[in-house]
DNA sequence: CGACTTTGACCTGCGC
DNA sequence: GCGCAGGTCAAAGTCG
């Protein structure tokens, strides 16, 4: 009888352990996915940071009263950075937070777009929509591709191609301007090249002061607008982002539940360590 | 009725 | 040259 009881108890333990194992496996999958997303975001952020630094260095006034050696040193630094950072192109990308239940691919960026095609691409199950700028009467060469983010479907990836040959303000109807300022979407417009991106935040934010997405009133300036106001906003944005990212990373590393879960996931992904 | 969207067909570039 | 994938066209449909 004792043997029977022991056997039953053993079976129950096995069941519990299996259930635990299954839930841990699921957790592992989730964490791996999140880790992958974070990794990708980190890479893009680093590229963005490098670009910002290059721009700041490029703004150094080389004609100011400095010694020749200082000037040469500055020029050399700028050249080194220029080699590291890809040459700015007329292509840029932004990420737009949308309502996850909203299936539309409309990115409210202040310009008027006409959809001329849609295609399902190989690397993303969500269809890619093709838009042309329809604001300039003579025809604007700018094109835009919009596709849902493959990792987080609540975000739209908008790729801009070309430069607007007109101003955003002169053609935006009042209705669109109004809808922009009240929009739920959060957008950061491209500054000059690829990887000017606002990041989706797939994790709960309640406990973190860092919230990387910043809503801008886009009706006041276009992506090519180099007004002082725009520069102030951009500088503020970059400084805030850099500080906030550090804050965010610090808060994540201080979070015992996050580090424990991460450690567990890493340990589980290395069977040889498990066995040892 | 005009502007806009949808969607299948077609074009083009690229790798093999 | 062929096949594939991304990009564009244009006719039909939809909406205000």
User: CA-CA distance, A42 to A252, in Å (whole number)?
Assistant: 14
Residues 243-262 of A with CB under 7 A from strand C: none
Residues 6+ away with beta carbon under 8 Å from A45: A199, A245
Residue A134 Cβ under 7 A from any strand B atom = yes
User: According to the model, what pLDDT value does residue A17 have?
Assistant: 76
Tokens of A206: 């309640």
User: CA-CA distance, A48 to A231, in Å (whole number)?
Assistant: 16
Q: How is residue A199 annotated by DSSP?
A: P
Q: Please, which positions of strand B sit below 7 A from a protein CB?
A: 4-9
- Three-class SS state of A191: coil
The Å distance, CA of A122 to C1' of B3, is: 32
Q: Please, which positions of strand C sit below 7 A from a protein CB?
A: 4-10
User: According to the model, what pLDDT value does residue A108 have?
Assistant: 64
Residues 6+ away with beta carbon under 8 Å from A52: A238, A242
Q: Is the pLDDT of residue A91 over 60?
A: yes
Tokens of A162: 């070309």
Residues 134-163 of A with CB under 7 A from strand C: 143, 145
Q: Is the pLDDT of residue A136 over 50?
A: yes
Write out pLDDT tens, residues A25-69.
776 666 666 666 665 665 566 566 655 655 554 443 333 333 444
Least confident stretch, A15-24, A52-61, A88-97: A52-61
Instruction: Please give the mean pLDDT across all residues of chain A.
Output: 56
Q: Which residue has the tokens 């090519």?
A: A224
The Å distance, CA of A139 to C1' of B10, is: 24
Query: Per-residue pLDDT averaged across A216-223, rounded?
Result: 34
Write out pLDDT tens, residues A148-164.
887 777 778 888 887 77
The Å distance, CA of A233 to C1' of B16, is: 49
The Å distance, CA of A123 to C1' of C12, is: 30
Residue A128 Cβ under 7 A from any strand C atom = yes
Query: Per-residue pLDDT averaged across A5-9, rounded?
Result: 69
- Selected residue with higher pLDDT from A65 and A124: A124
The Å distance, CA of A176 to C1' of C15, is: 18
The Å distance, CA of A115 to C1' of C13, is: 15
The Å distance, CA of A73 to C1' of C6, is: 45
Confidence of residue A103 (pLDDT cuts 50, 70, 90): low
User: According to the model, what pLDDT value does residue A104 have?
Assistant: 67
Minimum-distance nucleotide, CA of A106 to C1': B5
- Selected residue with higher pLDDT from A149 and A242: A149
User: According to the model, what pLDDT value does residue A47 have?
Assistant: 61
User: According to the model, what pLDDT value does residue A113 have?
Assistant: 85
Residues 9-68 of A with CB under 7 A from strand B: none
């Amino acid at each position: 009888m004792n043997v029977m009881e022991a056997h039953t108890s053993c079976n129950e333990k096995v069941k519990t352990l299996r259930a635990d194992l299954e839930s841990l496996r699921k957790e592992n999958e989730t964490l791996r996915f999140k880790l992958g997303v974070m990794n990708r975001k980190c890479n893009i952020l680093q590229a963005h940071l490098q670009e910002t630094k290059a721009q700041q260095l490029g703004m150094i006034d080389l004609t100011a009263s400095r010694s020749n050696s200082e000037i040469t040193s500055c020029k050399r630094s700028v050249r080194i950075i220029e080699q590291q950072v890809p040459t700015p192109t007329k292509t840029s990308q932004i990420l737009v937070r949308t309502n996850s239940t909203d299936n539309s691919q409309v990115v409210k960026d202040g310009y008027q777009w006409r959809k001329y095609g849609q295609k399902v691409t190989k690397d993303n199950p969500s269809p890619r929509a093709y838009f042309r700028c329809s604001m300039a009467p003579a025809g604007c060469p700018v094109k835009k591709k919009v596709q849902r983010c493959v990792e987080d479907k609540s975000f739209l990836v908008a790729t801009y191609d070309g430069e607007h040959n007109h101003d955003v303000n002169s053609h935006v109807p009042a209705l669109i301007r109004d809808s922009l300022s009240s929009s739920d979407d959060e957008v950061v417009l491209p500054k000059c090249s690829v990887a000017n991106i606002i990041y989706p935040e797939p994790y709960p934010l309640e406990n973190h002061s860092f919230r990387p997405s910043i809503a801008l009133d886009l009706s006041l300036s276009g992506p090519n607008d180099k007004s002082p106001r725009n520069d102030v906003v951009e500088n503020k944005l970059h400084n805030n982002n850099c500080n906030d990212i550090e804050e965010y990373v610090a808060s994540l590393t201080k979070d015992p539940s996050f580090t424990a879960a991460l450690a567990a996931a890493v340990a589980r992904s290395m069977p040889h360590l498990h066995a040892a």
